[in-house]
Homo-oligomer: A and B are copies of this chain.
């Protein structure tokens, strides 16, 4: 066949109770706990877990191997990554994809880009940030690359 067309869909997803989804979305092989919200035009890959009450807004992409805790807010157009192009090459072995762990009550501003890092609970990521290092303190991080910022 010349062109293989598949439809975005919801496949092999383990859902908790009372999850709301605005289609079209492309979700597969992930776990989404109670009361989560998934906005339109979202893709979530396999081996992702979203804790209870977490909201993923429109246009966001959550790659495989991302774990997000409870009561988090993932803004619009947020992109997670699991490959740092080591030695300038694309990782094609899924077992070697890197992991990202996001705690609970984390707020991630819209259009942010999250490299494979640890983001602790109650951290705030400003909109448009590019997070390249772990965010371990309960502070606000913003910018490209994202750094801890002082309150104004």
List chain A positions with a Cβ less than 8 A from chain B: 1-8, 15-24, 26, 39-41, 43, 57-59, 61, 63, 73, 75-77, 79, 81, 85, 88-90, 107, 109-111, 113, 115, 122, 124, 126-128, 130, 138, 140, 143-145
Contact = CB atoms under 8 A, between A and B. Distances in A.
A85 to B, nearest CB: 5
A95 B140 CA distance: 24
Contacts of A143: 144-145
B24 A8 contact: yes
Contact of A140 (B6, B88, B107, B144): B88
A81 B81 CA distance: 23
The 3 residue pairs across chains A and B that have the minimum distance between CB atoms: A128-B130, A113-B128, A111-B113
A146 B133 CA distance: 18
A78 B77 CA distance: 9
Given A40-B8, A43-B58, A79-B76, A3 B22 contact: no
A83 to B, nearest CB: 9
Contacts of A128: 79, 113, 130, 144
A143 B146 CA distance: 11
Nearest to A13: B3
